[in-house]
Structures are given as C-alpha cells and as structure tokens.
Structure 1
Amino acid sequence: MYDPLNKVIVDACLAPAKAYEVDLALEQLKHTQANSLLLFDRNYSSYIFLASLVKLGRQFTGRCSKSSFKPAQELFKQSVT
C-alpha cells in the first residue's frame, strides 16, 4: 500500500505467488483511515473487497474488466455511444 501524497509505503507484505491478492488487500485495509481515497487495479474489483470498502466507509475508485459485474457492464455500454 502506497501513499502518493506523502510518497511513502504504508504497508507491504510478501506472500506465495498463489496467494489471492484480494485477501492480502483486505488485511491492508486496517492501515486506512476514514478520509482515505483508495485506488486499485482490476484484480481487486471483487464483491468481498468492494463490500468491505463500503462497510468501512472508505472512498475508492478502481478499474474493472468489461466482463465484470452488471453495473460495470452498463457503464461500458454507455461509454461506447
């Protein structure tokens, strides 16, 4: 986890290559605060991760693939026209 404003690494962990990135990210959420804005890549757009962010009241934005969940698919359809 990286703080771009202060240019400092807040948290990092080493895990086996087969470790699920979302599980690791969920552990890192304890290092965030209510005013944190979290940015993440498409591998993190799972229901459990997004639900955890909402439950904690965190602000976030992240990429997702065109084939992900229905609201994302609708956004992609709108952006084509």
Structure 2
Amino acid sequence: MLLILALGTIWLGLKIAEEVYRIAVVFTGVILLAMGFVLAPSFIQIGSVLLLLGVYQLYISQPKFNMLVRNEVEAVKTVKCVGPNCSVVNAD
C-alpha cells in the first residue's frame, strides 16, 4: 500500500507548478517509497530489483543515434574523392 501511495505522491509532486511544494511532495514520496520498499515482502523486493536491472540493461544497450548520424555526416564531408587518382584534400 505504501508503494502505491508513494508512486502517486511522486506523480502528484511532478504535476505541481510551484517549485518549493514540488520538491517537498516529491521528497515525501521518496521517503514513502523507501519505507514501502523496506516493509515489502522479499519476493517484491527481489522482483523490483530484477525489473530495475532489466530496464537499466535495455537503456544502456541502446546506441546513441544522434552521435552516429553526426559522425557519418562528418565523414561524408571530409571524403571528397575515392580512387587511385585523387589528390589529398585538407579537412579544414
């Protein structure tokens, strides 16, 4: 019950426009989340940790698409000619 209340409190805190109240409500939600996690049965604790590790692995393994596109554009800009009869082109 505390875990559901904590998640609701954090969600409500993120919707508040006033910064001081937002920080106070989110902090209260984090305290409730910690208390709910400590009081939860061990299978819920282990399941939560495994779920968070799975989400972390999914997030980490994703390549950064913008960086790849930027590097490919830079490579295309620097290559002017490909072949044995090409002269060296200054990259600047």
Per the normalisation by structure 2, the TM-score is 0.20
Per the normalisation by structure 1, the TM-score is 0.22
Relative to total residues, which structure has the larger strand share, 1 or 2?
A: 1
